[in-house]
Chains A and B, each alone.
Chain A
Amino acid sequence: MATLKIENLTKVYPNGVKALDNVSVEISNGMFGLLGPNGAGKSSLMRTLATLQEADSGTVFLNEIDVLNNPIELRKTLGYLPQEFGVYPKITAEQLLNHIAILKGITNGKERKEMVNYLLQKVNLYEQRNKSVKGFSGGMKQRVGIAQALIGNPQLIIVDEPTAGLDPGERNRFHNLLADVGQEVIIILSTHIVDDVRELCSKMAIMNLGQLVFHGSPTDVIQELKGKVWQKSIARTEVAEYQQKYQVISDKMIAGTPLIHVLSETNPSNGFELVEPNLEDVFFTKIN
């Protein structure tokens, strides 16, 4: 059973932006979803956990490993897929994975070959293993990225926006793959796609402006909102008026007319009807 313990993690950029504001959280085995709008500090947190950025203060421990002061130890058991995953030009998928596998400590050639082949097959790229990665489509590159993150049976896997650019089929395959390995290790998945979290994660957190505004299980938090979310279709021109009057949590277009969700302990009447809260409602509630 692995535990990642983050305490009072703070990071202020030279321009004054507080990327991490006293973040504390404990994460154990399983999939952990990190939701947040753009600029919430998700990537800063991920990079700090992946030993790629210095924190100003706070501590991070993966079991016994002091992540911030002993990065090399953590790296031995880390799988990381950054938000932006590129590849060397003029190198094949197999060569690339082989290189990374070596760097992750699989120095036995035979084991490495098996590992690389296994992962290539898992991400459905085995047939393209001898092609230059440079010529791959965005989705294919992303799959290479996923494969490399899984090399070497890491204890901690951090994936930043992994499903961006994947078509629905790919996305499903990716989810299955994560679910496969996610039982015995910690997987932190940062995303702004609420569905990813809903489908995969048993634990989640929501970040906004560098702070952890929520942390718990998706089902619990949805339960919290039960009976408090109301919806109504209104005219475009009325949106501003409703926003004044009610605590609007979301406003989206359905078949060309705005459909608003409001939060209210009591029935706001006025044509509103009660809906089952979803994770999106949670998300918007927490960040507004």
Chain B
Amino acid sequence: MFTEFFTKEITSALKRPMIYIFLFIITLLVFGAVASDNVVIGGSVGNVYKNAPHVITTYVSILTIFGLMIATAFFNNAALRDYENDFNEILFSTPIKKSAYFFGRFFGALVLSTIPLLGVFLGFLLGAVIGPAAGWIEPDRIGPFYFSSFVNNYLLLILPNMFFAGAIIFAMANQWKSTVISFVGTLIIIIGYLVSGTLLSDLENQVLGALTDIFGMRAYSVDARYFTPMEKNTVSIGFSGWLLYNRMIWISVGILILAVAYKLFSFTEKQKKTKEIKPEKKTITQFYLPKISLNFNAKSQLTFFNSFFKISLLSILKSTTYKILFVFSTILIIVTFYGGFEYYGLHAYPLTYNMIEDINNTTSIFVIIILVFFSGELIWKDRNSHINEVIDSTPHFSIVSLIAKAVSLVIVTSLINLFLILIALFYQLINGYTNLELSVYALDFLYNNLPKYATWSMVLLFIQVIINNKYIGYFISILFLFLLDIIFLMLEINTNMFRIGATPSMTYSDMNEFGPALPSVLWFNLYWFLFGVFCLLLAGLFWIRGTSESFKIRVTSLKKHLNKNYTIGISSVFIAFIGVAGFLYYNTQILNHYNTSDEDEKDQIAYETTYKKYENSLIPKVVDIKYDIAIYPETRKVEAKIKLKLVNKTALPIDSLHFSLTKKWNQKIYIKNAKQVLNDEKLDYTIYKLNKALLPNDTIAILVEATYINKGIENEVSSLDIIKNGTFFNNFNILPYMGYNEGVEIADKNTRKKHNLPEKKRMPKLEENCGVNCMQNYLSNGRADWVTVETVISTSINQLAVAPGSLIKEWQENNRNYFNYKVDTISQNFYSFMSAEYQVARRKWKGIDLEVYYDKKHTYNTEIMLDALQKSLSYYTENFGPYFHKQARIIEFPRYSTFAQAFPGTMPYSEAFGFVIDLRDAEKNNVIDFVIAHEMAHQWWAHQVVGANMQGGTMLSESFAEYSALMVMKKTLNDSLKMKNFLKYDLDRYLNGRSGETENELPLYKVENQGYIHYGKGSVIMYALQDYVGEKNVNTALKNFLEEYRYKEPPYPTSLNFLNHLEAQLPDSQKYLITDWFKEITLYDFRLTEASYKKVNNNYEITMKVEAYKLKADTIGNETKVELNDWVNIGVYADKDEKKLLYEKKVLFNKKNNHFTFTVNALPAKAAIDPRKILIERVYTDNTKSITEM
């Protein structure tokens, strides 16, 4: 009998279209993504195939959420169909078995709900065949399929997820016999998933996040986080790791839920709870038919509105769904706030913009659920309650009831938003943050949320009215809110004028407030609001009064409602909408034309194919620059005159000068005795022919005029450099680039292949004795060596402008501030210009001016920053050599970017981290100090010595700066275990980075400007190096290297030059480290198989059994085991929490299985290999073990 119910469930669904529609949609989505280059989901970039097993799993994960909706439909239907058709009493009075009915239905629905997700596989198969065949993607973007990745994804993700979700939905549907409750079940699942997601944010909580994720997606990401491209291409999701535990947990929970549901399920009707209606005390009052007057004037429409509004609002506020959503959004925001604003283990102050971002992230999903769900509920409320005929036959205008519905939707969504703001304020207060910026909360709500809620409400009501079928209406609504974005992405439609409710993105900054996007946001809000109103007015005409009719009849009956006033109203809204649309179109498409990425690519290709021939033209180098810059923050305008002196440092005469211009800046070039022979305005390339060739060592003067003007409003703000408060640009923005700029070329190798461009010339290979390639450094690409710079910079009267060097003179003129700066020493041609309403904190240290330029709201860390400057200057001058500038400045800039950067003597530092991280708890690692130390270190590593423009160049600045900063930190903390806590982020950065590598991973000494290598790996290797060979030796090598090349004219040094200095400091026994760590990609894999102790007298004899491997990886992650003969630390902790290291020593691992014994004088709790985690290992958890008594 089980089979009967089971097959009946499936066959009857197969006869209906729903399952095929879902299957088709998913297939189409995946197909589109696989067969198109514009959609990149799941990291199918670089060397990872579009159909790699890892990518397939990612898609399955993402679409599981979508699958959840499908599961709801099937399980709800399986549980409630008989009740809804009032067939239950007939069916249950027949002699069927409860188990057969219950499980037959359940498993039937389970099979059904997994079918649409098979569309993922279908989409992959079709996309992989059709995509290359149609020429949409390159054939070599498709790799082999693995049968196991289909089977395993089905068995590990699709089936268990549908099983678990189904168990909950089926149980709840059976228990409460209501479709709404089934939706609530779905919501609970989604929210459970979101809550567990907030756990994953910190490195520490990853395991917890992996296990609590009901869909297993995060467990897989933790398992696969360090996958190399090679592994992504070949390794299918498997029955192992955290995922296996996760699946076991959630399948068990699912079985439990199902068992309970089965126990509670019964064929007999539950006794319905009916409240007894107690007759109230009889009234004696007798009422008489009153005299009444009927009013249908404008004022009474308001009364109609109020009554409709009250009814709609109450129906939402009293509904279980809304209450649940309200409670869940509250829980979610509290959990999110509780997690704080983590940054490398530290927390930011609860600044208003942080709170707002969390609130907006949290509310967005709830708002969409509420709007979609309740727009349908409201439109169908009368019909579902069977009161529609009564209401429809009253003399109200349909539009009044629709407006009331729209307003109540806006109110209920705003209520959640405002309540979360209250929680945020409360959170700020209990954290002792008393700067409550109510106006910022209010304005953000008015600018970003309220207009969206209104627009969406109106449009979604319109959809429900027009579609006139609740569930198809839901489907179309979701399509509009989500899928449309994906389709636009595929079609490269970027305009905000097509995506309902869309506005340019706007970031609030304490420095620059709502910033330059605000006017544009307001215009788009108006545009969408008018659109919404128009939709609503249209809906008012199409709204069915009475019986459902065909669309044709609806159109005829529409005319009856279209009276004169209505016609005037709807036409004026339409005209206003068209007007605003025209205004926006002119501003965002014509006045501020932007390129789609395809158009950008075309320009890049044209630039490359037209001007690549000039790549090796001779270029004179800049030696001296005088800037005259006027910044007008209020109007976002900059005018600059720059005088450059260039010298022909080549051995041949130069007869023409080439320039690549910057698009956003209007740049004019003036050269005496020269003629412009080419001016390509489209590709921004220009050539000047000199009347008399510039002979070797001769100098030429050039004048450049550059203007930046902001016009009208934009679709997306294209430049956040020049703004009201916090202008920040550098010399590369303002000056044209001399000659052909290789940086313009398309870098992605797959895109290049698609456009038949030759493979991009990689960074020059590292050479032992290099000639011409060492004549330029990687910072200025041969456009300059060491230069002298002087600047006159002016800005508005309330701002300070900062340029590199010492401030020589300061004055006011024409109600503006003027400053004259001059760099005290020759320096890199690489510096910034900034202007804002700064406060300045100053300190003098050994004749050097330490300065922090900050916004008045961010006073928290200025003293700590000055300390950090002082600490690093002290370590570096002592260990590396003198500092040549007379000042060291930290300058705050708005949070549109999050970085810090080192220019000669000045370090711009984003407001997003340095200034707003809570550093009051001195116990923690201070990453802010670390960043300052890093940037200060660049004053030596980059600004005194800089690598040649070839492989390994960035190691000489970035890795060394990391090392230097680590040494400052080590000295400050004086605690190796705290350093371990900090270094884990570097290791994570490296392992994560190589997992996402799109080209080739290179050994450290050949790094091609890859951040995860020169920062992440560089830190780990250099730290381990000083641990192995001594800090002093490493510093000596660095100092010797610096002294050889400091401020030297080319040739510039390479990483090999440094390694020579390093080798000189190492004993022979340790020279293998240079090969393993710098010249090759080496990973270790250790496992502590046994750890025990024996008490001998008063001491403890420890035995550790170790399994060890050393692996060499190639550039795409293929690993080979190599012979082991390495010194590695082993040790024991006094405590379980690994807070106190009792004992540590270096031992030699020279075979697979090693055995060590040693004696300690206190009882240890845990043993560990590499206890301070200084070596590169992918899995560290098996390195430690609790010690047991033998």
A contact residues vs B (CB 8 Å cutoff) = 14, 47, 50-54, 69-73, 75-76, 78, 80-82, 84-91, 98-100, 102-108, 111-112, 114-115, 117-118, 120-121, 126-128, 131, 135-136, 145, 148-149, 152-153
User: How many Cβ-Cβ contacts under 8 Å join chain A to chain B?
Assistant: 146
CB distance from A283 to the nearest CB of B (A): 26
Q: Which of A76, A84, A99 has the most CB of B within 10 A?
A: A99
The answer to whether A50 and B389 have CB atoms under 8 Å apart is yes
Complex Cα spacing A84 to B397, Å: 23
29 cross-chain CB contacts under 8 A? A50-B393, A53-B547, A53-B549, A75-B394, A76-B395, A78-B395, A80-B389, A82-B390, A87-B385, A89-B315, A90-B314, A91-B311, A99-B311, A100-B391, A102-B304, A103-B396, A104-B394, A104-B395, A106-B294, A106-B295, A108-B293, A114-B292, A115-B290, A115-B292, A121-B286, A121-B287, A127-B281, A127-B282, A152-B292
- Distance of B931 from chain A, by nearest CB (Å): 57
> Which one of B290, B307, B389 lies within 8 Å of A111 (CB-CB)?
B290
Q: Which chain B residues numbered 275 to 321 have a C-beta less than 8 Å away from chain A?
A: 275, 277, 279-283, 286-296, 299-300, 303-304, 306-308, 310-311, 314-315, 318
Flag if B307 contacts A118 (CB, 8 Å). no
Is the pair B385, A104 in contact by a Cβ cutoff of 8 Å? no
Closest residue on chain B to residue A120 by CB atoms = B287
Q: Does B263 contact A (CB under 8 A)?
A: no
How many angstroms between the C-alpha atoms of A72 and B311 in the bound complex?
Answer: 22
Complex Cα distance, B519 from A103, in Å, reads 42
Are A52 and B300 within 8 A (Cβ)?
A: no
Chain B contacts to A: CB under 8 angstroms: 274-275, 277, 279-283, 286-296, 299-300, 303-304, 306-308, 310-311, 314-315, 318, 381, 385-387, 389-397, 545-547, 549-550, 553, 556-557, 560
8 further A-B contacts with Cβ under 8 Å, apart from A54-B549, A99-B308, are A50-B393, A50-B546, A51-B393, A69-B560, A87-B386, A90-B315, A105-B296, A127-B279
Of the candidates A89, A111, A152, the one whose C-beta lies within 8 Å of that of B385 is: A89
Given contacts A105-B395, A107-B303, whether A51 and B546 have CB atoms under 8 Å apart is yes
Say yes or no: A47 contacts B546, CB within 8 Å.
Answer: yes
Given A87-B387, A105-B300, the answer on whether A52 and B293 have CB atoms closer than 8 Å is no
B311 CB, min distance to chain A CBs, angstroms: 6
Give min CB distance, B506 to chain A, whole Å.
40
Q: Shortest distance in angstroms between A74's beta carbon and chain B's nearest beta carbon?
A: 8
Q: Give the docked Cα–Cα distance between A26 and B529 (Å).
A: 49
* Whole-angstrom distance between the Cβ of B742 and the nearest chain A Cβ: 69
B392 contacts which chain A residues (CB < 8 A)? 52
What CA separation (Å) do A120 and B289 show in the bound complex? 11
Which A-chain residue is minimally distant from B387 (CB atoms)?
A: A86
| Bound CA span A75–B306, Å | 20
Chain A residues positioned under 8 Å from B303 (CB to CB): 102, 107
Measured between C-beta atoms, what is the minimum distance from A181 to chain B in Å? 9
Which 9 A-B pairs rank lowest in CB-CB distance, beginning with the nearest?
A52-B546, A86-B386, A105-B294, A75-B395, A103-B394, A114-B290, A82-B389, A118-B287, A76-B395
Q: Which of B277, B288, B395 contacts A135 (CB 8 A)?
A: B277
- CA of A136 to CA of B275 in the docked complex: distance in angstroms? 10
Given contacts A102-B304, A152-B294, contact A88 B393 (CB under 8 A): no
Task: Knowing A103-B307, A107-B300, A111-B292, say if A126 contacts B391 (CB, 8 Å).
Answer: no
B415 to chain A, nearest CB (A): 18
The distance from the CB of A185 to the nearest CB of chain B, in whole angstroms, is: 13
A111 to B293, Cβ gap below 8 A?
yes
* One of B290, B306, B393, B397 near A80 (C-beta < 8 A): B393
Closest CB in chain A relative to B212 CB, distance in Å:
36
- How far is B293's CA from A131's CA once the two chains are assembled, in angstroms? 28
Q: How far is the CA of A50 from the CA of B275 in the complex (A)?
A: 35
**Given that A76-B294, A106-B294, A128-B277 are known contacts, is A51 also in contact with B545, CB under 8 Å in the complex?**
yes
Given contacts A111-B291, A128-B280, contact A54 B386 (CB under 8 A): no
CA of A128 to CA of B278, assembled, Å: 8
A275 to B73: give the CA distance in the assembly, Å.
61
Residues on A with beta carbons closer than 8 Å to the beta carbon of B310: 99
A110: min CB distance to chain B, Å: 8
Closest chain B CB from A272 CB (angstroms)? 44
Q: List, in ascending order, chain B residues with CB within 8 A of A128's CB.
A: 277, 279-280
Closest to A80 in B: B393
- Inter-chain CA distance A252–B1121, complex, in Å, is 98
Q: Do B387 and A107 have beta carbons less than 8 Å apart?
A: no
Residue B390 contacts which of A69, A80, A90, A112 (CB distance < 8 angstroms)? A80
Cβ contacts under 8 Å, A51 to chain B = 393, 545-546
Chain A residues with Cβ below 8 Å from B557 are: 54
List of B residues within 8 angstroms of A50 by Cβ: 389, 393, 546
B553–A54 CB distance below 8 A: yes
Shortest C-beta distance, A106 to chain B (Å), equals 5
Residues of B within 8 A of A99 (CB): 307-308, 310-311
Query: Would you call B283 and A104 a contact (CB within 8 A)?
Result: no
* Cβ-defined contact, A107 with B311, below 8 A: no
Q: Which residues of A contact B394 (CB under 8 A)?
A: 75, 100, 103-104
Q: A90: which B residues are within 8 A, CB to CB? A: 314-315, 318
CB contacts (< 8 Å) of A107 on chain B: these are 295, 299-300, 303
Q: Which residues of B contact A149 (CB under 8 A)?
A: 390
User: How distant is the Cα of A107 from the Cα of B292 in the complex, in angstroms?
Assistant: 9
Assembly CA distance A152 to B306 (angstroms): 19
Q: For the complex, give the distance between the alpha carbons of A106 and B393 in Å.
A: 15
A14 to B294, CA, bound (A): 38
CB closest chain-A residue, reference B554: A54
Docked CA distance A54–B547 (Å): 9
CA distance A262 to B125 in the complex (A): 76
The complex places the Cα of A220 from the Cα of B394 at a distance, in Å, of 36
Q: Residue of A at shortest CB range from B317? A: A90
Report the separation of the CA atoms of residues A6 and B394 in the bound assembly, to the nearest whole angstrom. 21
Residue of B nearest to A96 (CB): B387
B272–chain A nearest beta-carbon distance, Å? 11
A52/B290 in contact, CB under 8 A: no
Say whether A84 contacts B545, CB under 8 Å: no
Contacts of B299 in A (CB 8 A): 107
How far apart are the CA atoms of A78 and B389 in the complex, in Å?
12
Is A88 a contact partner of B387 (Cβ separation < 8 A)? yes
Given known contacts A70-B560, A90-B314, A75 and B381 CB-to-CB distance under 8 angstroms: no
Asked whether A104 and B560 contact (CB < 8 A) given A47-B547, A85-B387, A99-B311, the answer is no
A129 vs B308: C-alpha distance when bound (angstroms): 20
**B1159: min CB distance to chain A, Å:** 76
Determine the chain B residues whose CB is within 8 A of the CB of A135 once the complex forms: 274-275, 277
Q: Which residues of A contact B294 (CB under 8 A)?
A: 76, 104-106, 152
What distance in Å separates the Cβ of A262 from its nearest Cβ neighbour in chain B? 40
Residue pair B393, A52 in contact (C-beta under 8 Å): yes
Closest to A181 in B: B289
Does A78 contact B307, Cβ atoms closer than 8 Å?
no
Is the Cβ of B277 less than 8 Å from the Cβ of A102?
no
Closest beta carbon of chain A to B562's beta carbon, Å: 12
Tell me the minimal C-beta distance from A55 to chain B in angstroms.
10
